[in-house]
Amino acid sequence: MKMKTVKVGRNDLCPCGSGLKFKKCCLSKSETEAEDFEATYVRKYNIRLKKAADIEGIRKAGRLVLDTLDLVESEIKPGITTDELNTLAHEFTVKNGATPAPLNYRGFPKSICVSINEVICHGIPGNRVIKDDDIVNVDITSILDGYYADANKTFFAGAPPGPDARKIVDIARECLRRGMSAVKPGNTIGDIGWAIQTYAEARGCSVVREFVGHGVGFGFHEAPQVPHFGHKGTGIGLIPGMVFTIEPMINLGKKDLRILDDNWTAVTKDGLLSAQFEQTVLVTENGVESLTPYE
Ligand code: MF3
Ligand code: CO
Ligand code: CO
């Protein structure tokens, strides 16, 4: 999702969902009032924790997302267009009783994102033809029984990949793994970003700043934001029941990006390769569980 800072004004609707103005609701509650974690996370951060039934719903949506990714992967080959991949994913999603979340989301015109080579994210499927040496990211978010799951992978179009393609895809995959390994109660959002940023930058790569992971499950993009850069021990503390994505976008060159005239496609300014992997994860009592598990 796009990085943004949210400030709740006194006269805005309260983030706790009461429907009251902020000043008439949580703003007026004493900071010293004893509250359980759930109330605090909703009131302070607008984070909606997930219960067992919600988690099962997101897990089911996640299984469908992974099956859809597998289906698309099986058709990625030189000569196919990104729109053909979109149609495949769309039809499979609908056939399974789900809805593709991207379609018409803030005006996005297609059902999946397909981001090739220098495209960082939010590539719009169209008539671009996949070539032998392309790296192709496919990002799928499906809504099943009201629950959202979000995952992506970067694939090689043909074989074998060159050294740059191999390098950036391997590093992006490892960045997601390391970010996920930082997820456990007692750690913070900043620990996730730190794990990713230090690994990528030590290898001469860079981390995109403008797009971040995000809470997910009841909606497409919920609180909190999950930057893929940061400092150990900073940011919101992780507690069981939080569900969010980790989706590092790692560039072979510089971190800078620009947005194409379609207002969606983000590309590296230097034209060098970018790769990404994404999973939807749950904070458990002991650590982390992926609700879109792969690898
Ligand atoms: N799936 C993307 C993410 O990981 C969001 C895509 S927004 C869209 O957050 F509108 F482009 F679909
Ligand atoms: Co996402
Ligand atoms: Co996604």
Assess contact for 120 and 263: CB atoms under 8 A: no
How far apart (Å, rounded) are the C-alpha atoms in residues 196 and 230?
A: 9
The reported pLDDT for the residue numbered 32 is 45
Question: Does the beta carbon of 1 sit less than 6 angstroms from any atom of ligand 1?
Answer: yes
| Nearest ligand 1 atom, CA 124 | 11
pLDDT recorded at residue 11:
83
Query: Is pTM, for the whole model, over 0.85?
Result: yes
Tell me the two tokens of residue 275: 């790769």
Tell me, using a 6 A CB cutoff, whether residue 247 lines ligand 1. yes
Which atom of ligand 1 is the closest one to the Cα of 108? 10
pLDDT for the residue numbered 217: 99
Distance CA 267, CA 271 (A): 7
Please check whether residue 148 is in contact with residue 221, taking contact to mean a CB–CB distance below 8 angstroms.
Answer: no
Residue nearest to ligand 1 atom 5, measured at CA: 1
CATH architecture of 22-290: Alpha-Beta Complex (3.90)
Q: Which residue has the tokens 């996730």?
A: 192
Give, using CA atoms, the residue closest to atom 12 of ligand 1.
102
Position 190: which residue type? G
H or E element in which residue 138 lies: strand 135-144
Tens of pLDDT, residue by residue over 207-228, are 999 999 999 999 999 999 999 9
- Using only C-alpha atoms, the chain has a radius of gyration, in whole angstroms, of 19
pLDDT score, position 104: 98
For 138-172, the pLDDT digits (tens) are: 999 999 999 999 999 999 999 899 999 999 999 99
Give Cα 132 to chain centroid, integer Å: 27
Looking at residue 2, its pLDDT comes to 75
Closest atom of ligand 1 relative to the 139 alpha carbon: 1
Is the shortest distance between the CB of 41 and ligand 1 below 6 Å? no
- Intervals of the chain under pLDDT 50: 30-34
Judged by its nearest atom, the ligand closest to the C-alpha of residue 151 is: 3
The per-residue pLDDT for 201 is 99
- SS3 state of residue 255: coil
User: Residue 249 is inside which H or E element, if any?
Assistant: strand 249-251
Residue nearest to atom 8 of ligand 1 (CA): 102
- Check pocket membership of 105 for ligand 1, CB cut-off 6 A: yes
pLDDT of residue 61: 99
Q: Does the C-beta of 139 come closer than 6 Å to ligand 1?
A: yes
Strands 135-144 and 99-100: antiparallel
Under a CB-based contact definition with an 8 Å cutoff, are residues 1 and 211 in contact? yes
- What is the Cα–Cα distance from 66 to 60, expressed in whole angstroms? 10
Determine the 3-state secondary structure of 156 from DSSP.
strand
The span from the CA of 176 to the CA of 293, in Å, is 12
Q: 33: CA distance to ligand 3 center in Å?
A: 38
Query: Which of ligand 1's atoms lies nearest the C-alpha of 1?
Result: 9
